[in-house]
Amino acid sequence: MNQQPLAHDESSNQAFSTLKPKLEQWRKFNKKLISNKMAVFGGVIVIFYVIVALFGQQIAPYDPLAIDLANKLQGPSAQHWMGTDDKGRDMLSRVIFGTKLSLGVGIVSVTIGAFFGIILGLISGYYGKWIDTIIMRFIDILLAFPGILLALAIVSALGASLVNVMIAIGIFSIPTFARIVRGSTLGAKKMEYIDAIRALGASDMKIIFVHILPNILSPIIVQGTLRLATAILSAAALSFLGMGAQPPSPEWGAMLSGGRDFLWSAPHVATFPGLAICFAVLGFNLLGDGLRDALDPRFQK
């Protein structure tokens, strides 16, 4: 009668003792991140953009595609807070709807790059030898081309569209993730616990994806956050050049391209999409830097 509660207490204590180091590690990470004012500022910007992207349809005061030629190129006013473009469309509504497009392009393209980059980096770092040589030479070939030029070449071959922009940015994001994951894997596979797991008969796939990958997530998370800023900026650049989103899509880069003809007569048409891109990139960069400082053991106290 008395043994069952004791067994339950022992199991509870064991679970708590296992969870306690993780809670302590999370507490230190949270304290370190919050103490970084610039990281908090970046996080607030990112959260704001995410909210706008999720609830843009409810927030936007007008249809972003509704044409009203009688009110074209109007400056900011109580009726149109960011003015109107050359077709009379409300700029605020277009910037709001463009948030979902730009964040979506960034997230999808970074996911593509991270997926293939992580797999290549894990295989290269774990197996080494000729496999490592082949994969790394392929990565070197991709790195030989400037990212935006490689993306331009891919989009030119596939055709101008937002989907192809995501594919192109995803492809030129692969080398960054692959090199970071490879370096982390080289260090992780030399740890004693990996030797012990291998001695117990664990398969290579289990060692790679169950034991190594979870322990090298920190640099991947940091790089993913920073890469989102690059992806948003690259997508806007491609759309500005006419290779991405096509009119009348309310994408920031396309809006910026359309507003360059009115820089003197109606500067607000290009200014507000440009500010949206600027703050989005700033937010992800600040947050990424803060995550790097909080997750890097060299910065832990």
pLDDT at 244: 83
Q: Which residue has the higher pLDDT, 215 or 121?
A: 121
Residue 283 is assigned to a structural domain of this protein = yes
Enclosing domain of residue 221: 79-299
Q: What is the pLDDT of residues 231-277, one digit of tens each?
A: 999 999 898 888 888 878 888 998 998 888 888 888 999 999 999 99
Q: What is the pLDDT of residues 32-74, one digit of tens each?
A: 778 888 989 999 999 999 999 999 889 999 999 988 888 898 9
Residue 292 is assigned to a structural domain of this protein = yes
Structure tokens at 166: 């995501």
Residue 223 is assigned to a structural domain of this protein = yes
Residue 217 is assigned to a structural domain of this protein = yes
pLDDT at 7: 47
Residue 233 is assigned to a structural domain of this protein = yes
Residue 63 is assigned to a structural domain of this protein = no
Structure tokens at 200: 């117990």
Neighbours of 97 (CB within 10 A): 22
Whether the pLDDT of residue 206 is over 90: the answer is no
Whether the pLDDT of residue 22 is over 70: the answer is no
Residue 220 is assigned to a structural domain of this protein = yes
Which runs of consecutive H residues, i.e. helices, occur in 189-251?
192-199, 204-206, 217-240
Which residues contact residue 91 at a Cβ distance below 8 angstroms, ignoring those fewer than 6 apart?
80, 82, 83, 84, 85, 255, 268, 269, 272
The whole-number average pLDDT for the span 179-206 is 86
What CATH number is given to the structural domain containing 189? 1.10.3720.10
Whether the pLDDT of residue 300 is over 60: the answer is no
The answer to whether 299 touches 255, Cβ cutoff 8 Å, is no
Q: Which residue has the higher pLDDT, 19 or 122?
A: 122
Q: What is the pLDDT of residues 92-117, one digit of tens each?
A: 999 999 999 999 999 999 999 999 99
Q: How many domains does the chain have?
A: 1
Residue 126 is assigned to a structural domain of this protein = yes
